[in-house]
A and B are shown apart, each in its own frame.
Chain A
Amino acid sequence: MATSNVRHALFCAIVTIVISYPILGLNLEAEGINIVLTGTDATTIVAIACAALIVFLFQLFRDSVMGKLGAVSDLNPLTGRKPMEQDKRAKLESWVLTGLVVVALFWPFFSSRGAVDLATLVLIYVILALGLNVVVGLAGLLDLGYVAFYAVGAYTFALLSQYYGISFWMALPLGALLAGLFGLLLGFPVLRLRGDYLAIVTLGFGEIIRILLNNWTNVTGGPNGIGGIPDPTLFGMEFGRRVKEEGNTSFHETFGIAYSGEHKVIFLYLIALVLAIITALIIRRLMKMPVGRAWEALREDEIAARSLGLSRTAVKLSAFTIGAFFAGFAGTIFASKQGFISPESFVFLESAIILAIVVLGGMGSQIGVILAAIAVTILPELAREFSEYRMLIFGAAMVLMMIWRPQGLVPMRRLHITLKTQE
């Protein structure tokens, strides 16, 4: 027992050295036209040795360390608490939510431009995660190509505005509908697939869309992307300093205030906020409706769901379509916010991040997913100073989450439907 622990710890330490030395301990330097391999300075070597030692000690005393860490949750004052009564909790929740929305509405007017811009991005991720939550969290269909629908939404707006001069407000429903249509199309071939196989096919689909956008140069501009995507307008009022389109007026002139670039940022933020709220409300409603219960039944047990007369086709397709629809929504806002899009914005990593948000937040839980979207988008920004190690920190956070809260930040609490008993 003890010896095997030592051997295991030694092995882990060696692995640490084997992995980290070539990465950190060796430098490639250009000398003229040749590349020379040089060793690194002493501090790095010492650091690697220290890391190996830490790994060795941790693995040696792993059992007692992990035991202590496990006991940490006992210190949490909330664990032993009795759950609140259902209606009391629901009331409290709705108050808190209303408060949050009010704060979110007025906050940008007192905040910096950068912060509002970041908040808009957070809201886009909230919409994306809420949409993917339908597919993965509720219907239990692992979709690794979700970013494809996001891309469809964004490119729909970009292309329509470039070729037909369509405005944001026209493109918003069109982008969402087209993304939904793509969701439906993808749904058909993957109906029979489950689990790993489904994940692989959706992953492939995501890549197909990206590669198509990358190579269809004469329509999509290929890797150069599409620029000059118009900003949204408020009842025909533009937010630029000068009006771009004939007949439009500009926002600051109409209201007789001085021009400020912040107006546009705040306006975009408010649009994203309203759309995020609409998304959350629609999906919340769907969850309570029969189709929401059908998704869950299919996730829990496909055979049982079918034995009750549910159509596998209809249930799966509806989940895919609705999930994709909201991704299209988010894509349109994203295109408008950036003003420029290229296939680079829609790589697999995006799908992975959205999926990570859903898993971190707690599959199927709306509040959890919203919190996770905020955390996952903002944390990397706060950790900008450690830019090189951002993904490392992200990964570590994921691992720790899975140890402590495998159910996610806020695990899904099932919405109960009570039938009134007849008098």
Chain B
Amino acid sequence: MLILEDIHTHYGKIEALHGVSVEINEGEIVTLIGANGAGKTTLLMTVCGSPQASAGRVVFEGRDITKEPTSQIMRSGIAIVPEGRRIFSGLTVKENLHMGGFFNTKSEIRESQEHVYELFPRLKERESQRAGTMSGGEQQMLAIGRALMSKPRLIILDEPSLGLAPLIIKQIFEIIGKLRDDGMTVFLVEQNAHQALNLADRGYVLETGRIRLHDTGANLLVNPQVREAYLGG
């Protein structure tokens, strides 16, 4: 569904990604784990076209989107939950969700809003509350809900567990699993390697701009190198 071929990305003169190839098939959860500064977020941003890859190809559903502008990419069935949630804190929960469905018709918005409220009943309770006044976990739910509003076929999550309590993280990961069961493709970037690998069908390990390992989630969980570097022995 999404294919990254030998991606090189530069920030000015510095090359952050040295030829990364990742493949995500329809209906699976693929996770990308790696330490700080490995280039995880850079890889996601490259998919979104900001910054654009200096070499290599990004192909989504058979279409080359490497050189497309960000706004175009984000309207073509990909949604991203950015790192640090980035909800519109001055807007209410409902308005945040409606922003997510900016390019959809009213009836589509109504439909996806119902769907989001089903997934996160908490958001319905908070419907007319200002988003910035909610707890971190609720804000993360809102960020995911907002991304779902555009009815994406692929959802990219950048560290959804960042700064959340273990119990909330568990809830969020359950939701991610539910999204896959509903037929959505998920690309999950995490520092929280244990939980991410547990959930994922396949995983990639990124290290200083290169893919070090690639295997199924279960195999990576027991891989001694991964255990030592990311799971604490």
Contact = CB atoms under 8 A, between A and B. Distances in A.
Interface in B92-119: 92, 95, 98-100, 102-103, 106, 109-110, 113
Nearest to A364: B90
A28 B219 CA distance: 88
Given A293-B99, A301-B86, A417-B98, A308 B150 contact: yes
A189 to B, nearest CB: 18
Among A300, A308, A314, A422, the one with the most B-chain Cβ atoms within 10 Å of its Cβ is A308
Interface in B142-163: 146-147, 150
Interface string B73-94: 1110001101000111111100
A304 interface: yes
Contacts of A301: 86-89
Interface string A402-417: 0000000000001011
B86 A422 contact: no
B69 interface: yes
Given A297-B88, A303-B86, A419-B109, A308 B98 contact: no
A341 to B, nearest CB: 39
Nearest to B90: A300
A312 B90 CA distance: 19
B70 interface: yes
A414 B91 contact: yes
B95 A414 contact: yes
A416 B90 CA distance: 13
Nearest to B69: A311
B102 A304 contact: no
Contacts of A297: 88, 91, 99, 102
Contacts of B146: 308
B188 interface: no
A7 interface: no
Contacts of B103: 309
A256 interface: no
B48 A307 contact: yes
Contacts of A304: 82, 86-88
Among B99, B110, B146, the one with the most A-chain Cβ atoms within 10 Å of its Cβ is B99
Interface size class of B (residues with CB under 8 A): 20 to 34
A113 B87 CA distance: 52
A309 B71 contact: yes
A308 B82 CA distance: 10
B216 interface: no
Contacts of A417: 95, 98
B99 A307 contact: no
B208 interface: no
A306 interface: yes
A304 B100 CA distance: 10
Interface string A274-303: 000000000000000010011011001101
A304 B87 CA distance: 7
A43 B42 CA distance: 69
Nearest to B128: A416
A310 interface: yes
Contacts of A419: 106, 109-110, 113
A307 B102 contact: no
Interface in A42-95: none
A310 B88 contact: no
Contacts of B48: 307
Nearest to B84: A303
B50 interface: yes
A300 B91 contact: yes
Contacts of A290: 102
A316 to B, nearest CB: 12
Given A293-B102, A294-B102, A422-B110, A309 B88 contact: no
A305 B110 CA distance: 20
Interface in A377-423: 414, 416-417, 419, 421-422
Contacts of A311: 69, 71
Contacts of B72: 309
Contacts of B91: 296-297, 300, 414
A74 B79 CA distance: 47
B214 to A, nearest CB: 27
Contacts of B113: 419
Interface in B2-35: none
Interface string A303-333: 1111111111010000000000000000000
Of all A-B residue pairs in the complex, the 3 with the closest CB atoms, nearest first, are: A309-B74, A311-B71, A304-B86
22 contacts: A294-B102, A297-B88, A297-B99, A297-B102, A300-B89, A300-B90, A301-B86, A301-B88, A306-B70, A307-B74, A307-B79, A307-B86, A308-B99, A309-B72, A309-B75, A312-B71, A414-B90, A414-B91, A414-B92, A416-B95, A419-B106, A422-B110
Interface of B: 48, 50, 69-75, 79-80, 82, 86-92, 95, 98-100, 102-103, 106, 109-110, 113, 146-147, 150
